[in-house]
Structure 1
Amino acid sequence: MNRLFFYIFICFAASGFSQNNLKSLLKKYNKEQVPYIYVKELKKQIIQPILLDARELSEYNVSHLKNAIYVGYNKFKIENIQKKIPNKDTKIVVYCSLGIRSDSIANNLKKAGYNNVENLYGSIFEWKNNNLPVYSAAEKITDSIHAFSKAWSKWVKKGVKVYD
């Protein structure tokens, strides 16, 4: 993955960068070539799509969506997805903390020929903010939510914020 993008992203966060709303934040960082799916829409799906967690393992272990497959961000490899999900028509929803890293991963999936990929708008933070369950590494419902960083934790309104 493009580590430079990620480090620039972190620098903005660490320097006190702020946005008043999530829509502006996502518009600033995302290519928006992959459609969003919203939490309420995902929750209503009769047939659950495959969920891919595009955060780092420490984040995933604290909190993730039920049945999500950890794919990471810094060490993401499309070859791993192609082995796990050979059918390029499979419905896939990618998420991260807010929807920025997941946009990058979703774009990589699209470039690899996956044609039914969506990015979860607001990602796990928005999921938790809607009082929906997240799971620990032991696959138990937890109130903990990995908040990524102090700067980005302002987007987490529900749950117990955990940091590395």
Structure 2
Amino acid sequence: MKRTIYLYLILFFNSFNLIAQQQKSIDHTLQLLNNNSVPYISAQELNEELLKGEILIFDTRKKEEYQVSRIKNAKFIGEQLNADSLSLDALDKNHPIVVYCSIGVRSEDLGEVLLKKGFTNVKNLYGGIFLWKNRGFEVFDQLDRPTENIHAYNRFWGRLLKSGNKIY
């Protein structure tokens, strides 16, 4: 009996270690690749904002990534702002906007562009859709149905996605 309890305790505490390692990998990657030019919003904070329904959320990934799954109500804007993405001129420059990609690197680039275009309330989803899914939040397919599929970009970046079905 003691042995079983001991084994369960080891497994329990190791699960926290795995979560910490996953977070550490994303933290380390963002520290190396981002310059913090766009304020971050956490997955939990974004979920709370989405429940209020007063936020615009832009997916800055490639079209094939967006087609696999997205955060609820996210609009495709792509990796580069262009006429096909959406009309930015019609948007209120003070409206809250969140940008995201796989982990938050590409979205920072687009967030910088939005800030330069005069948008004042732009945030970057910390850890992107990967950390969003790793934290247990839902993603949706093209028909707006919950799905476990996530485009993992490639095998190198996909190692940061610990939850859901990786699609390449």
Structure 2 equivalent of residue 161 of structure 1:
166
> 1:81, CA displacement in angstroms?
4.3
Q: Give TM-score, length-normalised by structure 1.
A: 0.81
Choose from 83, 88, 99 the match for 2:104.
99
4+ runs deviating over 4 angstroms:
none
Aligned alpha-carbon RMSD (Å): 1.8
Q: How does 1:106-125 map to 2 (within 5 A)?
A: 106-125=111-130
- Give the Cα separation in 2 of the matches to 1:119 and 1:127: 12
Q: Does 1:22 align with 2:19?
A: no
Question: Which consecutive residues of structure 2, in runs of 5 or more, have no partner in the other structure?
Answer: 1-23
> 1:25, CA displacement in angstroms?
0.9
Counterpart AA for 1:82: L
Choose from 137, 141, 146 the match for 1:136.
141
Counterpart AA for 1:107: E
Mean Cα deviation higher: 33-42 or 43-52: 43-52
Structure 2 equivalent of residue 36 of structure 1:
40
Q: How does 1:53-72 map to 2 (within 5 A)?
A: 53-72=59-78
Mean Cα deviation higher: 42-51 or 119-128: 42-51
Counterpart AA for 1:26: L
Higher helix share: 2
> 1:31, CA displacement in angstroms?
2.1
- Give the Cα separation in 2 of the matches to 1:44 and 1:50: 13
Identity of aligned residues (%): 37
Structure 1 pair 49/147, CA: closer, same or farther in 2 (3 Å)?
same
Structure 1 equivalent of residue 81 of structure 2:
76
Q: Give TM-score, length-normalised by structure 2.
A: 0.80
Structure 2 contact 25–160 (Cα < 8 Å) conserved: no
Structure 1 pair 147/100, CA: closer, same or farther in 2 (3 Å)?
same
Aligned length: 143
Q: Does 1:88 align with 2:93?
A: yes
Counterpart AA for 1:39: A
- Give the Cα separation in 2 of the matches to 1:138 and 1:61: 10
